[in-house]
Amino acid sequence: MDVKDIAPANDTLLKSVLKALSALDCFSTRERKLTATEIARRTGMPRGTAHRVVTTLREAGLLEQERDKFRLGIKLFELGNVFLANMDLQREAKSFVEALTELTGEVVHLCVFDGRQTTVVRRAEPTRERTNRIMVLEASPAYCTSTGKAALAFQPRGVVSRVIAFGLRAFTARTIVEPALLLRELEAIRHRGYAIDDEEYSLGIRCVGAPIRNVSGQVFASISVSGPSRRMTRARIASNARLVVQYADGISAQLGYRPQRAAGRRRATPPEPPGA
């Protein structure tokens, strides 16, 4: 149903919902607590309107208040767990994530892309005894992580432009903050099929990620292998890149993606689901 088909009497409700969503969108892993004034400034809402919105969200359990600051509420965590439980990607990728972790001996992240950032929906970390399988919801910028760049490189130009317009903040001295350099990096990623985070988001950590496509061929998620920079040498990145691309292709195939055979294009054979 198109929004224009909804009765005008509901316009006020629709606007209120959009304001609530814009307020929630102000929070991130780097900005966990905000005042109503800060939310008003970021969303463009009048201060009084922003205060009413955050008060309503607090009463609904979507925000929690600590003195004059607000943070995301436990209700969102509960809804996130429901979302994950009903997500095809989670079910189909689980065995791939675990197998890739055991094969590489490194941390593996499975992420979804929301148009601006990527959110970790599954993380697997190897230990001596077994593989720890941890489910978290943690968002990070798309322009400076391997999972983010792997997804961003295959988005329409308008999506890339919006990410750049939002601002390219430097997290380390190696973060790409020049739009022209980022565009060149994304072009290189499209050409080779995988992205590298060379200590761009966190010093001492290098990652390699590859895109995951849905049944219609759209890149909506990504998977990566991460490790300490002392261990993730160029040779190690190259070998891990081949595995990450192979497993990303395997997950895409499990989700129903069937790439068209193109002349001169090399296709990696997706692996069978581990344990099949």
Q: Is residue 161, in this structure, part of any structural domain at all?
A: yes
Q: Are residues 98 and 50 in the same domain?
A: no
Domain CATH for 233: 3.30.450.40
Residues 141 and 117 in one domain: yes
Indicate the SS3 state at residue 246. Answer: helix
Residues 39 and 144 grouped into a single domain: no
Hey, what are 123's tokens?
A: 């993380």
List the CATH number of the domain containing 32: 1.10.10.10
Is pTM, for the whole model, over 0.85? no
CB 73 within 8 A of CB 39: no
Structural domain for 17, as ranges: 3-76
> Bridge-partner residues for 225, per DSSP?
108, 208
- Final residue belonging to a domain, choices 47, 76, 105: 76
**263 — pLDDT class (breaks 50, 70, 90):** very low
* pLDDT (average), residues 144-165: 94
> Is residue 130 over pLDDT 50?
no
**What does the alpha-carbon distance between residue 235 and residue 11 come to, in Å, rounded to a whole number?**
57
Strand, helix or coil at 39? helix
Range in 10-19, 42-51, 144-153, 234-243 with the lowest mean pLDDT: 10-19
Q: Is residue 136 part of a domain?
A: yes
pLDDT given for residue 12 in this prediction: 75
Is 162 in a helix, a strand, or coil? helix
How many domains does the chain fold into? 2
* pLDDT at residue 262 tops 70: no
Specify whether the CB–CB gap between 200 and 174 falls below 8 A: yes
Q: How far apart are CA 158 and CA 207, in angstroms?
A: 26
Residue type, 109: H
Is the residue at 143 inside a domain? yes
